[in-house]
Structure 1
Amino acid sequence: MKNVLLVEDEEELTAIVGVVFEEEGYEVRKSNSAEAALELCQSYRPDIIICDVKMGKMDGFMLLEKLKAAERLKDVPFIFLTAFDESQARKKGLNLGAVAYIAKPFDIEDLLKTVRNLVPPA
């Protein structure tokens, strides 16, 4: 079973996306901050990461930079899922190595399709 790390500070969105991905056959781990996600990744290697941009002290851009610098995590596909949809932010995210930048509100089927194309569930 492939696993997804969902880094999002909106609890309701985290719950909904988590349930949808679990129903599709993914194992989902959740983190409500970039700091907690970074700590989790010390002992866990997700198959894909879906992350918000704007969170507490550390934003999603900083998290992506730190993960790309870690040898065992640098190849993990990273998707931004965010309400922060300015062209500069999108460009920055993709330049840092994100494979996709999806703006909220979003269609859950589009997110699922993107993830399935990168990491099929089984």
Structure 2
Amino acid sequence: MISILIIEDNNDIRENTSELLELEGYATLTASNGKIGLEKIISNVPDLILCDLRMPEMDGFTVLSHLGHYPHLKRIPFVFFSAKSEKLEIKTGIDAGADGYLVKPFELEDLLTIIEKCIIKVKSSSLQ
């Protein structure tokens, strides 16, 4: 079963996203900020990370940056999701190394599409 870590400081968004993904057949882990999220990534490596951009303690950019220090972690697909919808913010997220960017609020279909694209990308790169 594919595991997805959701790092989000808003409890409702975090829990609702987790529940929706579990209903779609994914295993989920959750973290309420980037610091806790990074600890969970290191202790229980997920298949994909969904991470809010702006959070207390450690923001999404910092989480992504820390993953780059670990060869086995920097390959994990990383998707930002944020209320920030400005093109520059999205470009900054992608340029930082994220595999995708979702603007909140988002539709379940959009979330599932980006997850599937990330999974396909990982599977195809592991075959090469």
How far apart are residue 117 of structure 1 and its match?
2.5
Q: What secondary structure is seen at the aligned counterpart in 1 of 2:42? A: coil
Judge conservation of contact 1:4–1:28 (CA < 8 Å) in 2: yes
**Letter in structure 2 aligned against 1:50:** L
User: Once superposed, what is the RMSD of the aligned Cα atoms?
Assistant: 1.2
How far apart are residue 108 of structure 1 and its match?
1.4
Structure 2 CA distance for aligned equivalents of residues 113 and 70 of structure 1: 27
Q: For this pair of structures, how many residues does the alignment match? A: 120
Q: What secondary structure is seen at the aligned counterpart in 2 of 1:55? A: coil
Within 5 Å, which residues of 2 pair with 1:63-78? 63-78=63-78
**Is 1:29 the equivalent of 2:29?**
yes
Q: What are structure 1's unaligned runs of at least 5 residues?
A: none
**Letter in structure 2 aligned against 1:5:** L
> 2:91 matched to which residue of 1?
91
Structure 1 CA distance for aligned equivalents of residues 73 and 35 of structure 2: 15
How far apart are residue 111 of structure 1 and its match?
0.5
**Is 1:7 the equivalent of 2:7?**
yes
Higher relative contact order (CA 8 A, sep 6+): 1
User: 4+ runs of 1 displaced by more than 4 Å?
Assistant: none
Bigger shift: residues 111-120 or 87-96: 111-120
How far apart are residue 86 of structure 1 and its match?
2.2
